[in-house]
Amino acid sequence: MKIVLDTNFLISCLKFKIDFLSELSGEDIYIIDKTKEELEKLIKGGKAKDKERSKIILALLKKKKIKTLKSSPKETVDDKLAKLKGYIIATQDKELKKRIRGRKLIIRAQKKLEIR
């Protein structure tokens, strides 16, 4: 399976102490290039807890060599995720969930991952 991780999914996993990398081991994991940018912005100007979580996430993504998908300069992360075909999109964003036509990976009951 090819799985693309959204920013809020990553932050939520840390918040709820979900080891998403272990749960998704053996899968092809990706992020959008602008997801990295969003995390870097949070480090510079987010809430204290989000800054810390963003630093941890960026370190994990680098350590685990998570692949990056390119988006066009005018495209938002949500627009790119909504257009992807053949990928499972990992997100907690309600509006984005409505826009995604394919399968989604969500956090259930703040403790486990579920594909819908």
Boundaries of every domain in the chain: 2-115
Contact 68, 36 (CB under 8 A): yes
Confidence check: pLDDT of 98 > 90: yes
Over the stretch 11-33, which tens digit does the pLDDT of each residue have? 999 999 999 999 999 999 999 99
pLDDT of residue 47: 86
Nearest CA-CA partner of 33 in 85, 91, 73: 73
Contact 84, 101 (CB under 8 A): no
Superfamily of domain 2-115: 5'-nuclease (3.40.50.1010)
Confidence check: pLDDT of 46 > 90: no
pLDDT of residue 85: 93
Q: Determine how β-strand 2-5 pairs with β-strand 28-32.
A: parallel
Task: Identify the H or E element spanning 105.
Answer: strand 104-108
Contact 88, 103 (CB under 8 A): yes
